Amino acid sequence: MNAGQSGETTLEVFMFGGFSVKQDGRPISLGNNPTANALKMIEIIFLNNSQGISKEELLRDVFNGKNLSDKNNSFNNLLYQARHLLRDAGVEGTHYIENRRGKISVESGLSVSTDVDRFNLLCSKAELAGEEEKYRFFREAFDLYRGELLPDFITENWVLQERERLTAELARCVCYLTEAEKKRGDDDEVIRLYHRANEVDPDSRWQAGELEAWGRKGDYAGASAFFQETARYYLNEMQIPIPKNIRQVEEKLIAGEHPGMSPQDEMLLRRSAKLAGSGHKSMMAPYACPEECLGPVWQALVRNIERRGHILYILILQARTETLHGDALPAEIDEAIRKTLIDVLNTEDIYTRLAQGIYAVIPVNVRREDSLRLLRRMDERFRDLAGGESSFSGRIVRYDELPEFLETYAI
């Protein structure tokens, strides 16, 4: 047993880049099914262990908001299975999971140390530290962030919401560290930092900073190779134009007529411009459904699609816009969102405006597990169209969850 002064058993839990647990420095196995509801319950409790989580919130997150006929029975069955997973893994404890004052958490005597909590603590320490300590704390936090938060559940709301907060903290780490290395004149380290940041959070467009660093160090062949790799990611994999900030850096490098820049670069820029100017890939846009018709449309789709084994869902998009020249006018925000949806969605998809900056999308032929990529594509396009620090946040709901969502946001 790995015990501290209080005799607690300590579990070291890793959530960045995948879920794993160590006890006494040795890996332990919590079953063979990484998406089992009992394991999901354990992960949610671990993620929220510092403040606990209510039974209602826990059931909502485990079952994705699904209405349960007997919540108490569902909870008790899951609790029994989760405790057995921990016991069978050799975790030392008695009840493992307890309900204290309405909050579910691990039992007293069992200490859980997660990489997420350690990351948060290091970022908090960095904010209060002097320059030398600040760099060390941010660097330790950055090194902890090994990949996407809990990728087995990346499209579920309890992960999406926490991921949004964590990537904002990661961005602060990256900005501070890269600025510090620029001042030191170490562009090799700047490239390493940006490259790693892009691997763990490809949504944040760190490629522009890396491309600039290749140019500053005079390695134009390296800049060209990196740009081509980046361009193909957006054009081929994401099927969207190269983001504006990356294009601008590349265009400056090409305009400088540096040796080592490839003619292939200009061809990729022209291809991106053509894709950006061509609008939607079809003459027909996705269906703009009036809000009052969303219910009947949803029911018709459920009858025709879910009986074939496909699971239908709604992706709620909420725009966050902080333009460089003040807040955009509401009409400009809505127009940028509408253009984004027309450019990215397929003709069979459906979207509805719920309120200013908030839209509901029904991606008819996009599986739930692929919804994060769809959100990324829409986010990239919206950033280019709206400008500034604009972005989308996303949440997945069923139609019967919409009233609760609308009430929560006073829509």
- pLDDT at site 70: 85
- The 10s digit of each residue's pLDDT in 74-89 is 899 999 999 999 999 9
Share of the chain above pLDDT 70, in %: 89
Query: What is the pLDDT confidence band of residue 282, given thresholds at 50, 70 and 90?
Result: very low
- The 10s digit of each residue's pLDDT in 305-353 is 766 666 788 888 888 765 444 455 567 888 889 999 998 888 889 999 9
- HSE (side-chain half, CA atoms, 13 Å) at 151: 11
CB 272, CB 247: distance < 8 Å? yes
Answer whether residue 1 shows pLDDT above 60: no
Query: What is the pLDDT confidence band of residue 181, given thresholds at 50, 70 and 90?
Result: very high
- The 10s digit of each residue's pLDDT in 18-53 is 999 999 889 999 988 877 899 999 999 999 988 999
- The 10s digit of each residue's pLDDT in 91-133 is 988 889 998 888 999 998 888 999 999 999 999 999 999 988 9
- pLDDT at site 2: 42
Share of the chain above pLDDT 90, in %: 41
More confident residue, 197 or 257: 197
- The 10s digit of each residue's pLDDT in 2-19 is 444 455 678 999 999 999
- The 10s digit of each residue's pLDDT in 203-234 is 778 999 999 999 999 999 899 999 999 988 88
- The 10s digit of each residue's pLDDT in 360-407 is 999 887 777 677 778 888 888 888 888 767 777 778 877 777 777 676
